[in-house]
């Protein structure tokens, strides 16, 4: 939706910036464990996302939640989302319900494959 970021970053054997590690809900929830594999290996993310609900004034009506498996390891367990993450798209109205998925690269060599989105 351009508002909620799950961090995709080389975090292999890197314990710095807990809320910016791979699998963090950026700026809010660090992963429960660093499940990153060494660079050059395919990393997998399975994300269950339920978006928060806001009224047109931006007041939170219902929190959102994310559950994330990184490389098969549970790293976020029904983590609550009450506001956009720090790197969100400012142009997107807060009360928008369906918007595109955005993928990042941090100006690094990154490849994505097998992306599936299924509406709950």
- Domain spans of the chain? 1-97
pLDDT tens across 70-82, in order? 999 999 999 999 8
Structure tokens at 41: 């290996």
Which of the residue ranges 12-21, 33-42, 73-82, 86-95 would you say has the lowest mean pLDDT? 86-95
CATH assignment of 1-97, among 3.90.1150.10, 3.30.365.10, 3.40.80.10, 2.60.120.560: 2.60.120.560
Which of 59-73, 76-90, 104-118 is modeled with the greatest confidence?
59-73
Residues 6+ apart with CB under 8 A from 53: 60, 61, 62, 64
Is-contact 35 28, C-beta < 8 A?
no
């Amino acid at each position: 939706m351009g508002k909620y970021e799950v961090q995709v970053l080389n975090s292999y054997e890197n314990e710095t910036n807990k809320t910016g590690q791979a699998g963090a809900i950026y700026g809010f929830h660090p992963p429960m464990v660093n499940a990153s594999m060494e660079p050059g290996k395919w990393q997998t993310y399975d994300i269950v996302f339920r978006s928060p609900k806001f009224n047109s004034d931006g007041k939170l009506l219902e929190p959102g939640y994310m559950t994330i498996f990184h490389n098969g390891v549970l790293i976020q367990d029904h983590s609550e989302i009450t506001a956009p993450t720090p790197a969100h798209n400012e142009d997107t109205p807060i009360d928008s319900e369906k918007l595109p998925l955005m993928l990042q690269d941090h100006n690094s060599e990154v490849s994505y494959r097998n992306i599936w989105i299924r509406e709950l």
